[in-house]
């Protein structure tokens, strides 16, 4: 891998890409509730990908927008979507892990206050 970089040959087989898509696609015909896909109608405004703040903000806004649209669709379909407050079930992160997260947050807060 020490020689000069060989430029990669671009391959873009649009026709076959479309064919393959047709072969496997079912999500378009399915009811929205089967997939819960929301495609935004704008592209994110990110000038510099290395800029963490603007990049993450753009992702956040896209997701938030999708969440709001999804709620609209759930409500239009009359489907309950929010977890009832008395519904307890296993979460992706354990209670022990979440208490660690909390400790970390408290610790951060304290260091900020201590610096003032």
Partner 1 sequence: QLKTVPETIGTQRNREKVLILSSRGITYRYRHLMLDMLQLLPHSKKDSKLDTKADRGIINEVAEMKGCGNVMFFEARKKKDLYVWLAKTPSGPSVKFHVANVHTMAELKLSGNHLKGSRPVLSFDQAFDEEPHLQLLKEMFTHTFATPKRHQRSKPFSDHVLSFTCVDGRVWLRNYQVTLANTQRKPSAEGMSLVEVGPRCCMDPIKMFAGSFGGPVLYDNPAYVSPNRIRAMLKQKKMARYGSKVQ
Site residues (vs partner 1, CB under 8 A): 1-2, 5, 7-14, 16-18, 20-21, 23-27, 29-31, 33-44, 46, 49, 55, 58-60, 62-68, 70-72, 74, 80-83, 87, 89-93, 97-98, 100-101, 104-105
16/111 with CB nearer partner 1: 16
Instruction: List the one residue out of 80, 91, 77 whose CA is nearest residue 32.
Output: 77
Helix, strand, or coil (residue 106): helix
In this structure, the dihedral spanned by the alpha carbons of residues 58, 102, 70 and 22, taken in order and rounded to 10 degrees, is 70
**Which contacts (CB < 8 Å, 24+ apart) does range 89-95 have?**
none
For the bound state, the minimum distance from the C-beta of residue 69 to partner 1, rounded and expressed in Å, comes to 8
For the bound state, the minimum distance from the C-beta of residue 86 to partner 1, rounded and expressed in Å, comes to 13
For the bound state, the minimum distance from the C-beta of residue 115 to partner 1, rounded and expressed in Å, comes to 19
């Amino acid at each position: 891998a020490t020689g000069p970089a060989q430029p990669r040959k671009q391959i873009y087989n649009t026709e076959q890409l479309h064919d393959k898509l047709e072969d496997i696609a079912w999500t378009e015909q399915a009811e929205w509730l089967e997939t819960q896909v929301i495609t935004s109608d704008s592209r994110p405004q990110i000038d510099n990908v290395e800029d963490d703040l603007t990049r993450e903000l753009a992702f956040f806004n896209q997701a938030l927008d999708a969440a709001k649209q999804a709620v609209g669709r759930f409500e239009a379909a009359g489907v309950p979507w929010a977890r009832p407050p008395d519904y307890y079930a296993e979460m992706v992160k354990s209670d022990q892990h979440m208490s660690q997260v909390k400790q970390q947050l408290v610790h951060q807060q304290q260091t900020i206050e201590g610096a003032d």
